């Protein structure tokens, strides 16, 4: 009996040691981003992803999330941080470093992205290897995704047709394509900072802003305006690109079975999940605007042909911007539109 008892005790100790080893994380991945811990990217994308990674790796990977630039630097520094390996993973907006992702931003163009974030996310995946990959040296993308789309949010007077925008001052969503869009619509741009935007709108320092409904709600813009204008069919004036990226060397340094865990949780399904999360958030924000008795307007169909001509001028500027790089931007636009259409079915 003593011998049997000692064998049982030894087995229990060995089992406990095995459990302890399996529960102790072998690898810690640090995720860095510029928004708060209660932001949509953290709660709807990063946290669920981290939980799946930890579960699917049986605890061998631990994911630490650092919001609000806790690890230092400013939002435009995030790309360099992940390329250099200062952090393992980042979430950021491509607009902070527009010159680094000129190919990728084709999907932000009006008339390329329509109104379906899932379709655009999948289209980005479809074109990544053939057209976008050169922009991601040293980076292993987990997912590239977009929001629902930009709408006009107007404080002073409604916009029913393009002529209504003449002489108006609009805050654009970015320095390049966003600003080009405002100008193409016939309005003037302003560089008013985001934190001051609701107050500026209430005080009629500017007439409106071009941004997503979700951002407009989170910033208090919905409370500061009375009118919102979208394109016919509840379509939008382009979108923005967001990036969930991992350092390539860090990814390749993982054991094969743990790389498989990352791969399992960073493919097509993650693109769909992100698209649905941002679409749901946009729909909720649009409903919130309606509940405040704000007027949501679809641009009159009579303006549609003129609108297309004006928005295609943005394409011309995009083509010109990419010319020095030797990129056939018109071909890229055509491929992006075809991919979005194919994924919209």
- The answer as to whether 116 is a domain residue is yes
Q: Any bridge partners for residue 140, and if so which?
A: 246
Picking from 281, 275, 238, the residue whose alpha carbon sits closest to that of residue 118 is 275
230 domain-assigned: yes
In a domain? residue 19: no
Domain co-membership, 303 together with 205? yes
Is the domain of 42 the same as that of 128? yes
| 225 and 324, same domain (yes or no) | yes
**Are 77 and 113 in the same domain?**
yes
Burial class (CB in 10 A: 0-12, 13-18, 19+), 191: exposed
Question: How far lies 215's CA from each of 152, 194, 198, 238, 254, in Å?
Answer: 12, 10, 12, 14, 36
Q: Please tell me whether residues 141 and 181 are part of one structural domain.
A: no
Does residue 169 sit in the same domain as residue 277? no
Task: Give pLDDT, residue 27.
Answer: 97
Q: Is residue 252 part of a domain?
A: yes
Tokens of 345: 């079915």
94/169 same-domain check:
no
Buried b (16+ CB within 10 A) or exposed e, 246-255: bbbebbeebe
| DSSP three-state, residue 263 | helix
Looking at the structure, tell me whether residues 223 and 330 fall in a common domain: yes
Domain that holds residue 201: 150-238+292-343
Examine residue 316 and state whether it is found in any structural domain, yes or no.
Answer: yes
Identify the CA nearest to 98 among candidates 177, 172, 171.
Answer: 177
Within a domain: 228 = yes
Residue 84 lies in a domain: yes
**Per-residue pLDDT, 16:** 44
80 and 172 belong to one structural domain:
no
Are 116 and 261 members of one domain? yes
User: Is position 191 within any domain?
Assistant: yes
CATH of the domain at 321: 3.40.190.170
Is the same domain home to 45 and 194? no
Shared domain for 220 and 332, answered yes or no, is yes
**DSSP secondary-structure letter at 142?**
E
- Tally of domains within the chain: 2
pLDDT of 88: 98
Write out the H or E segment, with its range, that includes residue 336: helix 329-343
* Rounded-to-integer distance, Cα 203 and Cα 230, Å: 24
Q: Which residues lie closer than 8 Å to 281 by C-beta, 6 or more apart?
A: 40, 44, 147, 148, 214
SS3 57: coil
Identify whether the C-beta of residue 31 lies closer than 8 Å to the C-beta of residue 90. Answer: yes
Mean pLDDT per 10-residue interval, the chain, length 345 residues: 47 44 78 97 98 98 98 98 98 94 97 97 98 98 98 96 94 91 94 77 93 96 96 93 98 98 96 98 96 94 79 95 95 98 94
């Amino acid at each position: 009996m003593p011998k049997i008892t000692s064998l049982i005790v030894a087995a229990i100790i060995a089992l406990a040691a095995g459990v302890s080893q399996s529960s102790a994380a072998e690898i810690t991945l640090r995720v860095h981003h510029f928004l708060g811990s209660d932001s949509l990217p953290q709660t709807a994308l990063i946290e669920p992803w981290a939980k799946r990674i930890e579960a699917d790796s049986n605890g061998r990977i631990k994911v630490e999330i650092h919001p609000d630039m806790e690890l230092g630097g400013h939002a435009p520094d995030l790309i360099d941080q992940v390329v250099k390996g200062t952090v393992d993973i980042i979430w950021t907006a491509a607009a902070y470093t527009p010159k680094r992702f000129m190919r990728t931003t084709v999907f932000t163009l009006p008339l390329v992205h329509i109104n379906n974030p899932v379709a655009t996310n999948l289209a980005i995946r479809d074109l990544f290897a053939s057209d976008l990959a050169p922009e991601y040296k040293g980076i292993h993308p987990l997912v590239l995704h977009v929001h629902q789309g930009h709408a006009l949010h107007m404080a002073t007077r409604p916009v029913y047709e393009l002529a209504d925008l003449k002489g108006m001052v609009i805050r654009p969503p970015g320095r390049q394509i966003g600003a080009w869009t405002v100008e193409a619509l016939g309005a003037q741009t302003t560089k008013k900072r985001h934190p001051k935007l609701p107050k500026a709108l209430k005080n009629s320092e500017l007439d409106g802003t071009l941004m997503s409904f979700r951002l407009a709600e989170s910033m208090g813009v919905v409370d500061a305006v009375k009118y919102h204008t979208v394109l016919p069919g509840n379509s939008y004036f382009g979108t923005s690109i967001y990036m969930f990226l991992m350092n390539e060397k860090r990814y390749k340094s993982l054991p094969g079975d743990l790389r498989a865990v990352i791969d399992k949780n960073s493919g097509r399904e993650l693109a769909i999940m992100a698209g649905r999360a941002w679409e749901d958030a946009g729909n909720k924000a649009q409903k919130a605007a309606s509940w405040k008795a704000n007027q949501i307007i679809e641009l009159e169909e009579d303006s549609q042909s003129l609108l297309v001509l004006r928005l295609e001028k943005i394409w011309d500027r995009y083509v010109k911007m990419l010319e020095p790089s030797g990129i056939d931007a018109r071909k890229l636009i055509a491929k992006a539109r075809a991919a979005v259409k194919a994924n919209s079915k």
